[in-house]
Amino acid sequence: MQNLVLGQGDSPLTENGVAIARLAATSDMINGKGLQYFRHYCSDFPAHRTARIILGLEKDDGRNTAINDNDDESSEDNINLIVDSRLRELAKGAREGYLKSHSYEEALEKRRMEAAAAGVTTTSSDDTEVEVPKLESLDDAYERFKDWIDSLVEDVLKDYYATKKNIKHHYDQEGDNNTSNENENNENEENDIDPNNPKVYDIFALSHSALIRTVIHKMVDHELPSDYATTKEGSLRIPNLSRSIIDIRPFVRTSNDNARPRWTSSLYRLTDVSHLNGATKSSRPPYL
């Protein structure tokens, strides 16, 4: 570990990182026989290889098929790993590639000095034209993540209502005793989510520490324990390859098909690492 700010830049997975990902892959908490994920998602880099290892989509010799912006399907395991750029790490701007100890201004000045040393032309007498990676605010990062959640909730609702409609049709065909008036009274209830018979959709998503931290604070900050673990800078500590689970509950679907889905969120599990109990103290998971 070089203690660098990686941001949205790609970085290779270390041998130790591969070992930790394989350890996570053996956990029943992630790949248990009773688990059936509705969808599998990961960021486009560098988390895609980590996700493949955890889900058993990479051979022991490291061979794997290419991942693109759409999906990567394994016919053997019937797992469709969807690569989604909305799960990317926060874009860190000028600090990307430099030590975490550098402030943004220090990193920007260093870029200018390096550009000047390389003979890059200047735009003014005291400023060097320098290409700076994208800088993203916490709000901007959360908005793209929320857009991902919204689209996922839409897909879940479509599946839920389609399943509910098929079940109702099945019972109607079997000789349901509802009268026509009762059916008319129940028309609007087809859009209801039955609280007594909920359907759970488990989602596998592999993202990055700063984005995960942002999402947790934005969505369930009021539920965080007062003694949550922090980094030396005082931020919520997100151990690499830890599991955080947030429960998303959609509201009843409205008649306005163009409206964004509405949902509530609650914290179910925070930065759990119990699935990595087999790791040695010297083992360090990859930076995600």
* pLDDT tens for each residue of 88-120: 988 877 777 767 777 878 878 787 877 777 766
Flag the least confident range among 217-221, 238-242, 249-253: 249-253
How many domains are there within the chain? 2
Do 165 and 68 lie in one domain? The reply is yes
Do 82 and 209 lie in one domain? The reply is yes
pLDDT tens, position by position, 185-203: 444 444 456 666 678 999 9
- The CATH number of the domain holding residue 195 is 3.40.50
CA–CA separation, 211 and 192 (whole Å): 33
* Phi/psi at 244 (5° precision): -120, 130
Question: And the tokens for 237?
Answer: 């500590």
Is residue 283 one of the residues assigned to a domain? Answer: no
Helices 138-173 and 209-220: crossing angle, nearest 10°? Answer: 70
Is residue 14 one of the residues assigned to a domain? Answer: no
Residue with tokens 């041998």: 15
Q: How confident is the model over 149-171, as a mean pLDDT?
A: 78
pLDDT tens, position by position, 42-95: 998 767 889 999 999 986 555 554 444 444 444 345 789 999 999 998 887 777
pLDDT of residue 180: 36
Do 77 and 220 lie in one domain? The reply is yes
CA–CA separation, 201 and 163 (whole Å): 13
CB-count burial class (<10 Å; 0-12, 13-18, 19+) for 220: middle
Do 83 and 122 lie in one domain? The reply is no
Task: Provide the pLDDT confidence category of residue 279 given band limits of 50, 70 and 90.
Answer: low
For 208-257, the DSSP string reads -HHHHHHHHHHHHGGGS-TT--B-TTSSBP--TT-EEEEEEEEPPPPS-T
Q: Domain range for residue 109?
A: 93-128
Residue with tokens 């839920």: 160
Is residue 154 one of the residues assigned to a domain? Answer: yes
Do 152 and 206 lie in one domain? The reply is yes
Do 111 and 197 lie in one domain? The reply is no
Do 191 and 113 lie in one domain? The reply is no
pLDDT of residue 54: 93
**Eight-class DSSP state of 61:** T
Do 97 and 76 lie in one domain? The reply is no
Do 120 and 237 lie in one domain? The reply is no
Is residue 2 one of the residues assigned to a domain? Answer: no
Is residue 24 one of the residues assigned to a domain? Answer: no
Residue 183, pLDDT > 80, answer no
Backbone dihedral region of 277: left (phi > 0), alpha (psi from -120 to 50 degrees) or beta? alpha
Do 122 and 259 lie in one domain? The reply is no
**Better pLDDT: 25 or 64:** 25
Is residue 9 one of the residues assigned to a domain? Answer: no
Q: How confident is the model over 202-228, as a mean pLDDT?
A: 95
Residue with tokens 């889900």: 55
pLDDT tens, position by position, 205-215: 999 989 999 99
Domain boundary among 128, 153, 180: 128
Domain boundary among 71, 104, 128: 128
Do 79 and 221 lie in one domain? The reply is yes
Is residue 30 one of the residues assigned to a domain? Answer: no
Is residue 10 one of the residues assigned to a domain? Answer: no
Residue 247, pLDDT > 60, answer yes
Do 108 and 161 lie in one domain? The reply is no
